[in-house]
Amino acid sequence: MPESKDARPSSQSRRGPSRESVPSDTDPVIARAANVIGGPLGRYAAMSRRPLGGTGARRHVPVPRWRPIAAALAACASLFVALGVVQKSYCFNHGWGGGEVFWHACYSDLPRVYVASGLVNGSFPYGPDSDGIAVPVGTGVVWWAISQFVPAGPDSTSWFVGLWAVVAAGLAAVLVVVTVLTCRRTPWQAAHIALSPLLITLVLISGDLLGVVLVSVGLLLWSRERPLWAGVLLGAATASRSYAVFAVIVLFVIALRAGRGRAATQMAGATLLTWSVILMLAAIPAGTAVIAPYRTWLGAGAEFGAPAYLPELLGHPLPLGALTALAITGWILAILAGMAATFLPAHRPRVAEVLIVVLVVVLLTSKAIPVQSSLWLVPLIALAGLRWRDHLPWVACELLYFMAVWLYLGGRVDPLRALPDQWYAGFLLLRCAGLTWLAVAAVRQAIARPAAPPMLSDDPLATAAEDPDEVAGPAAGRPDALVVTFS
């Protein structure tokens, strides 16, 4: 359907530099949606802006006043997490076990981990007499700290989930503020996080939000040209959720194209050191229990959400060795895809664009794609500057799969109410199509960006200010040192 004239963004000739961050000027979907709250911003209205300040290469870049934007979006993010408590109200009122948790779509890993790991007794989950819990040590330690505030009694499990909801609401607000600070010229991009329905459906299922926030803080520090501190935060993120290591790899590859290998090496070294220190400190009381999540992964078969689960639905499950080999091969393919997405486009791509591609390849070749893993991609959509027309189809696929997987799992308790295998397979493939759509959108945006013009000035501040990647950090405005071309 052709876009209506009044829904189109204002022309560039009428939109000066002060209007660059106005969402209704740049995104047709937002321009249409803005009619609900009074319409797009007037074509002659001007946005108040001020210099960024600081000591980085972009210190003279004029940016919108970010505090009111961050406050409004952080409040929305916390509200959406609170709505997640409402969405899981049945389990809060009737318990977290039995088949009804699937029919009411309120299943969560937290109650199971809370009881099985000894957190219910206030015990350290990585004690010497414990096999550990199947979550990385950073998340396990945070959950142990939360468990110390849970009152004893029959409702302790709900108390534990409720306290995590309070912490998660704060983490969601921090994630939005960090994203606003990273997207300095387009802070409204953080609305991709604050208004995501995945905050309602997924945050209370697991502790993935902790790793997501730590990765985002690490990317913020990298964008501010603090490679050592960025490595420290990314090391803590890796100890909380292993996918953070791919952020380190992508930053390293992007820095190589810009000839900033030294800064990338500092960041990677700090990441490895921080991760090692956290594991060694946890291993003092826990011993080898700290590596339980990695042992569990090695022994796990195909699980829900992954294409590797489809042969099991057909009655021909893949052997464990083949699954592990497929997952490891997927990591290699993801790194190669990230390198191709970095070195082939005419203009150096954004860090988040490449990281989306890498994570999608990792997910599609993994042993399982749990529903909560979608949280990893939400802040990257904002940092990549993708349009809502790319975000909304993906999130629609995620929500449809979210409902389908619980109906399928509930059928294991009550087969008369089950979602048939072929229907579940269809929703699984739909979700994979949504992930592929997101990766293609990131690649399409990177390829469409024209090559950077030759440097007309020796001043690195002038060239850094024009770099479209807010996360580029030490690579901002640098000429390419390594590219791949075909003649």
Task: Render pLDDT for 384-414 as a digit per residue (tens, 0 to 9).
Answer: 999 999 999 999 999 999 999 999 988 877 7
pLDDT at residue 227 above 90? yes
Higher pLDDT, 178 or 32: 178
Cα distance between residue 203 and residue 165, in whole Å:
8
Question: What is the average per-residue pLDDT within 65-78?
Answer: 90
Cα distance between residue 279 and residue 282, in whole Å:
5
Helix (H) or strand (E) holding 221: helix 208-223
Cα distance between residue 259 and residue 252, in whole Å:
10
pLDDT at residue 11 above 50? no
Buried b / exposed e across 17-30, counting CB within 10 Å, b at 16+?
eebbbbbbbbbbbb
Buried b / exposed e across 223-260, counting CB within 10 Å, b at 16+?
bbbbbebbbbbbbbbbbbbebbbbbbbbbbbbbbbbeb
pLDDT at residue 7 above 50? no
Cα distance between residue 237 and residue 231, in whole Å:
10
- 64 - beta bridge partners? 49
- Choose the weakest-confidence range: 126-135, 180-189, 455-464: 455-464
Helix (H) or strand (E) holding 299: helix 292-299
Question: What is the average per-residue pLDDT within 330-343?
Answer: 95
Average pLDDT, the chain: 84
Whose CA is closest to 165, among 242, 238, 87? 87
> In angstroms, what is the C-alpha Rg of the chain?
23
What is the pTM for the complete model shown?
0.88
Task: Render pLDDT for 58-71 as a digit per residue (tens, 0 to 9).
Answer: 655 666 677 888 99
Position 456 scores a pLDDT of 40
Cα distance between residue 153 and residue 155, in whole Å:
5
pLDDT at residue 275 above 90? yes
Task: Render pLDDT for 420-466 as a digit per residue (tens, 0 to 9).
Answer: 889 999 999 999 999 999 999 999 999 988 876 655 445 555 555 56
Position 339 scores a pLDDT of 95
Q: How confident is the model at residue 335 (pLDDT cuts 50, 70, 90)?
A: very high
DSSP 74-120: HHHHHHHHHHHHHHTHHHHHH-S-STHHHHTT---HHHHHHHHTSGG
Helix (H) or strand (E) holding 418: none
